[in-house]
Each structure stands twice: as structure tokens, then as C-alpha cells.
Structure 1
Amino acid sequence: MRAQNSSGSDYHRKEGFAQVARWIAFDPDSESFIYRKFDELAARNLLYLQSELLVLEKQLDQTDKNDAESDDMGLADTIMTWETLERQYKNGNEEARIRMNLIVKMRDKLKEYHEALLLQSEIAKLKRPSKRVLTAYREWFNKPRPALGGLSKTFLDDPNDLEEISLDNRCSVGRYHEKSIAAATAIISILVAALLLVGSITGLYFVTSDASKLGMIAAFTALFALSVGLMTSAKRAEIFASTAAYAAVLVVFVSGSISSSTSLPTT
């Protein structure tokens, strides 16, 4: 990131939440959409909902047990036929009212619980902000004083409870498009790969000493392995396999060149 000062004719100064919101929204890559996840509160809320459902489940089980042990024929029709239960509820039957209220309460609480579970599962998929973005955000947010007051000024303190779901045109931190960075990285990677392959073959072609060729193969192979390890996210096994393939290409080229040179007729 670099220093940047942009100006626009419609710019006007903002403070507090308006200033922070402007800073966040300015990023076209939305990297600074960073907020607290409140994992502990979310877990606590789910535990509360779960406990409420456990109580309701026990009440329903007890009701079912009482219904199964009852000899009331009218009750049997009520627990087997929804229309009967609904009719008795509307007619003011006390047992039907208790049973219906319990069903409705269970239904609402279960819906709330499942929605909370699904939302939490989606939140768990969100990635944490990168160290680069979080450092830039904190630097802007806290200089020369926190942009927000009260407890809000501490929301960036715990990196483990943050999720990433940007730059102000009057601030001291600049921002670049991730697509541009990715494109530049891809171009550099392609050029390095081409240089390592074409450059090594060209160099080996003009070297006549077999010992020098073997030394060049070792040097280029080590350089190739280093570039793959630094410029890609390849695992160690993948680095080993690609390096072996690269070395094999060079060895085949050199062995062919050595064979040609040793098979020349002498005069």
C-alpha cells in the first residue's frame, strides 16, 4: 500500500461512524468490510435457544405420556386429529389451549433456532482479514486518535473474532485492485518460468564442457525449485515433482547434446 491523496469536487469532511463508513466503502475490492463475528455471543445464544427447546421437548414428551395413559376417548380424538384439536382450541377447551400453545411455542422457537444455526454456519465460512489489510485499517483507524469512541474503538483489537465480508479519498493509505495485483503476479510468474526453461536450454547449448553443463543443470534446478516454492502455493510434494520434471528436461537435452558430440567422426 502507498500514500495517496485524491480530491473530488463533491468531497466534504465526515467524522465518526460516517467517516469510518466512507473509508470502508471506498475500496472496490471490499477488503475493508471487516466486522466482529461475536463468536462467543453467537455460541451463547445458540446454547440458550437449545436449552429452551430442551424444556419444550420435555414438556411435549410429558404431555404425550399423559395422553397415552389417559382413558378419555375425546382426548384420543384430539391427539390423533388436527381438526379436532383446532376446533376444541377455538371453542375454549383448556386442555386444547395448553396443547396448542405448547405446539406453537415449540414451532416458533425451533424456527428461530434453525435460522440461527444456518446463519452461524454461513458466518463460519467467512474468511479472516489478511494481516496486510488489518494492519492498514488499524493504522488509519487509530491515528491520530481512534475514529470511533466508547467500546466501538476496540472492535479491531481481537483478530481472531474478525471477519472480512476500503480507502478514503482524503486519507494516508492507498489501495490497489486485487485483480491488478493478481494479473501482475501471473505475468511475472510466466516470465520467470519462460526464463528458467528457455534460458537454461540456451545456456546449455553454448556450453561445451560436460562438467559445466552438469553444474548449470544443478544451478538451474535449484533456482527452479526456489521460484516454485516462493511464487506459488505448491506443496512440498508438488515442488519435488515439478522440479524433477524440470531437471529431466534439462538432462534429456544435455544427454542428447553430449551423445551428438561424442559420436562425431574423428579425422
Structure 2
Amino acid sequence: MADPSAYLDLPTEPGTRGYKRLADFMAWEPPTAIFPRFRSANLLNLLSLQAEISQLEEQLLNLMKRDDQDPNLQRRFYSTNWSVLQADQDGGNEQRLKLLELRTKLGEYNTALIQQITLFRQPNPRISDLEYLQNWLADSSGGNRELVGKVWITKDGDNYKLADKLSLLPEDYDTFTRTVLKRFGSVLSILPALHVKNRTFPPRQASQDAHFTIYSSSDAVISIGDKVATIVASLVTTIPIIILKFVPSINWRLGLVVIFTAVFSSTLAFMSNAKRAEVFGASAAFAAVQVVFVGSLGGLF
């Protein structure tokens, strides 16, 4: 996790305009460093390179066949003696030049392909971060709609086209920690022990008020979140056992198992960074433990 304090003192002058101001804002608030993937354009580039390479391959193959049948014995050695291919005509023979052209194009294609693999693996931005960036761009204290060529405001109905964007520096906080920082940042900022700073992005002009308040995270807030999550985890896993112990009806027990499992999986998803498969596995194990316990009380099996 990046050290949040590294972003607290970035210089941003109120009079800064345009893309420099946007760059300062993204550097100050890392989750808003959102960029388009240009998936269609990049894939079109790969397809065009693929077609060019296929054409070069065919041309090279024709040259090789021609040289293999050439009356000039020197050229017939091209396919079997690399030194002859390199040295003949001072390396300027047609087959070698075509091979070098193919090598260059392959390097361009492979580089573009690896870059695309890297881009596709980058996480999509969160809707809240994209909305935050869009609101800042539209506000008079932010970009004020003056940027030309911006690509972030691309909402199609309720679809923000997140799949065509990537986040360079996504915060890896769980939903619970993000909610605490967002909803209770004003309260946490007045508690000296937490060192949560209330920051505002400088307005464009000294006479304007800054509209964007940012609450910096801290290790103390994350630590509190971890402790709360630990307590909740212990309660969510033990309280159902106590309740099931005193419920006499087997039908009510099974219904409560469903409810407790849903609460457990929801809590796990909200208070941790567990992946979907991990949440599913943990929920299945929790449900199995409850069913075994209910069975041990009698009436199920």
C-alpha cells in the first residue's frame, strides 16, 4: 500500500490551468489517476501489424523459393549458410533485407502485444472515483470544462464504460475502511490521535472557495478498521451458534442458517478485500459448520 503521506504536500498553485492543474489533482488524489485503455484502437493496431507481418512472411517465403532455384550458386546457399546470406552483396541482398524488415515489424508487434496484456490486467476504476474526477473537471474550482480532448466524461446512460478505463493507483482499502474515511472523515480529522488531515484542493482563484475536501487516510484509521473487523468476525461466527442452540424447531434452525450465512458472506465482502471465490468458499464452510451443529442437536438426520 502506498504511503498516503507522500501525497499531502504536493504544490498546486491556485492559478494553475489546464492539464497541469489536472495532473496536480491526480497526483494529490491518486485514485483519480484514471486513463482510457483505447481498447478498440489498440486492437486495431495489433490487427494491422498482424496483417503486415503475414504479408512480409509471404514475401520472404517467395524470395527464399526464388533464391533456392536461382542459377547463381551463391544465392542457393542463402537457405543453408547464414554467413553467405549475411555477406553476399555486403548484406544488401533482397532476402536479408526482407528478413530484417520482418524482424523490425515483429519487434513492434510483440511490444504492442505485451503492452496490451499489461493494460488488460490493470484494474478498472471505481465508479465513485470516476464520478469524483468528472465532478472536479466540471466544477469552477477544478477543470471548469476548459480541457480540450478529455476522455473521462463518457457516460452512456448509467453506464460509465469502466471496462475501457484503468486506474493507475487504486486504493486497496476494503469497502468498510473507505466508508469510514468518506462518511466520518470530518469527525476523524478533529481527533489528534488519528492524524487524519482535512485537505482542500486550492481554488483556481484566490477569491473562490475550494469545493473539494479530501480526507487523507492514516495507519491509525486502517488499524481501527482491522480491529473492528476482527471483533465483528468473532461475533458473526459465534453468535449464530448460541442462537441455534436455543431454537427448538428444526425448520426455524434451517431458516436461521440461511440468514446467518447471508450475513456472514455480506460482512466478509464489506469488511475485507476477499475475492468472490474466497467469499464463496468461506460462506460454504460456514454454512457446513452450522448444518453439522444443527444436526448434532438432533432432528435433522
TM-score by length of 2: 0.64
The Cα shift of 1:111 comes to 0.8
The Cα shift of 1:135 comes to 1.6
The Cα shift of 1:80 comes to 2.7
**After the TM superposition, which of the residue ranges 188-197 and 114-123 deviates more from structure 2?**
188-197
Q: Indicate the SS of the match to 2:93.
A: helix
Task: Note closer, same or farther for the CA distance 1:100–1:178 as it changes in structure 2 (3 Å cut).
Answer: farther
**After the TM superposition, which of the residue ranges 50-59 and 138-147 deviates more from structure 2?**
138-147
Q: Paired residue for 1:187? A: 227
Task: Note closer, same or farther for the CA distance 1:232–1:193 as it changes in structure 2 (3 Å cut).
Answer: closer
**Conservation of the 8 A alpha-carbon contact between 2:12 and 2:24:** no
Task: Note closer, same or farther for the CA distance 1:62–1:83 as it changes in structure 2 (3 Å cut).
Answer: same
Q: Paired residue for 1:112? A: 108
**After the TM superposition, which of the residue ranges 163-172 and 56-65 deviates more from structure 2?**
163-172
Structure 1: which amino acid aligns with 2:89? Y
Alpha-carbon distance between aligned partners in 1 of 2:243 and 2:286, rounded to the nearest angstrom: 21
The Cα shift of 1:127 comes to 1.2
Task: Note closer, same or farther for the CA distance 1:81–1:240 as it changes in structure 2 (3 Å cut).
Answer: closer
1:52 maps onto 2:52 in alignment? yes
**Conservation of the 8 A alpha-carbon contact between 2:257 and 2:290:** yes
Q: Paired residue for 1:151? A: 149
Task: Note closer, same or farther for the CA distance 1:9–1:161 as it changes in structure 2 (3 Å cut).
Answer: closer
1:161 maps onto 2:159 in alignment? no
Which runs of no fewer than 5 residues in structure 2 stay unpaired?
Answer: 1-7, 155-160, 170-198, 203-209, 270-277
Q: Indicate the SS of the match to 1:163.
A: strand
Q: Which has the higher contact order (CA 8 A, sep 6+)?
A: 1
Structure 2: which amino acid aligns with 1:104? L
Alpha-carbon distance between aligned partners in 2 of 1:232 and 1:114, rounded to the nearest angstrom: 41
Alpha-carbon distance between aligned partners in 2 of 1:251 and 1:185, rounded to the nearest angstrom: 35
The Cα shift of 1:34 comes to 0.8
Alpha-carbon distance between aligned partners in 2 of 1:132 and 1:47, rounded to the nearest angstrom: 34
1:125 maps onto 2:165 in alignment? no
Task: Note closer, same or farther for the CA distance 1:57–1:179 as it changes in structure 2 (3 Å cut).
Answer: farther
Q: Indicate the SS of the match to 2:124.
A: coil
CA RMSD of the aligned region, Å?
3.6
Aligned-pair identity (%): 16
Alignment of 1:85-234 (within 5 A): 85-90=85-90, 96-144=92-140, 146-152=144-150, 154-157=151-154, 158-165=161-168, 169-170=201-202, 172-177=212-217, 184-199=224-239, 211=248, 221-233=257-269
Which runs of no fewer than 5 residues in structure 1 stay unpaired?
Answer: 1-6, 256-267
Alpha-carbon distance between aligned partners in 2 of 1:63 and 1:57, rounded to the nearest angstrom: 10
Task: Note closer, same or farther for the CA distance 1:75–1:168 as it changes in structure 2 (3 Å cut).
Answer: farther
Alpha-carbon distance between aligned partners in 1 of 2:288 and 2:63, rounded to the nearest angstrom: 71
Instruction: Give 1:245's match in structure 2, choosing from 289, 294, 298.
Output: 289
**Conservation of the 8 A alpha-carbon contact between 2:68 and 2:77:** no
Alpha-carbon distance between aligned partners in 1 of 2:10 and 2:149, rounded to the nearest angstrom: 34
Q: Paired residue for 1:24? A: 26
Alpha-carbon distance between aligned partners in 2 of 1:230 and 1:40, rounded to the nearest angstrom: 36
Structure 2: which amino acid aligns with 1:111? G
Q: Rg larger in 1 or in 2? A: 1
Task: Note closer, same or farther for the CA distance 1:183–1:221 as it changes in structure 2 (3 Å cut).
Answer: farther
Report how many residues are paired. 237
Q: Deviations over 1:118-176 (max 9, x none)?
A: 11111111111011211211111222364542222x33414331111288633514255
Task: Note closer, same or farther for the CA distance 1:246–1:123 as it changes in structure 2 (3 Å cut).
Answer: same
